[in-house]
Amino acid sequence: MAYTLLPNLYYRIFSGKVIKRIRTKEKKVMLTFDDGPDEKYTPKLLDVLRENGVKATFFVLAEKAQKYPEIIKRIISEGHEIGLHYLNHSVPLLRSPLRTRKDFKKAHEILTSMGVEVRLFRPPWGLFNPLTYYYAKANNLKVILWTQHAYDWSWWNTAENIKNSLLRKIKKGSIILLHDGRGANGAPAKTIKALTEVLPILKQQGYQFVQADDFLRGGVSEQVPTLLYKGNRHISG
């Protein structure tokens, strides 16, 4: 219980150190994607974002980033942010303190070797063990969870359900969790299809899609981190 339940209760519910929403009175939201990059889906998602003039944050798995460096370069060159999602999609609850430290170290080395300086972190499934936050902080990573989740990874979900869920739940200050990799077979394709309809509607409703730097400049919350990654400045080649 001490190793699994208590850290998650604290960081997911009570801690003010973990960012779960944007504090703003304006129609500003943060669009985020986990579990990529994926060679099949991430380029298609980037096409949709570019067509709609929307910037997002990609929480990548370091081993997948290493496998698809050209996709990482494209993400950054098109003005999106990069955050760390972990070395791979292993369950933090089952990682020992030593393994947690090694995974953070290796993930950091992989991204650094690619020329990426990343300062945001989201643990897989949003789960913590007692050392997750400690090593995130030790690596100068600000932890961001989410406000809205469309469960787009599930086999039972449909593009129409994802669309309706997003349009119904998104509010001012929402941090939106979606996925561009993993999940049930073909799940990211449903997310991409839903976004082709959702993004124009939200923009028509007056929503702005912001990144960490954007809402920092707006001074929306003293709990928002003060040092975050400007995605288009830190990759070589």
Which positions are annotated as active-site residues? 34, 179
pLDDT at 119: 86
pLDDT at 118: 86
Which one-letter amino acid corresponds to residue 125? W
pLDDT at 218: 52
Helix (H, G, I), strand (E, B) or coil at 191: helix
Per-residue pLDDT of the chain (237 residues; tens, 9 = 90+): 677 889 999 999 999 899 999 988 999 999 999 999 999 999 999 999 999 999 999 999 999 999 999 999 999 999 999 999 999 988 777 788 999 999 999 999 999 999 898 889 999 999 999 999 999 999 989 999 999 999 999 999 999 999 999 999 999 999 999 999 988 889 999 999 999 999 999 999 999 999 976 765 554 443 433 223 333 333 222
Where do the domains of the chain lie, and which CATH numbers do they carry? 5-216 (3.20.20.370)
Length of the chain: 237
Provide φ and ψ at 8, rounded to 5°. -75, -40
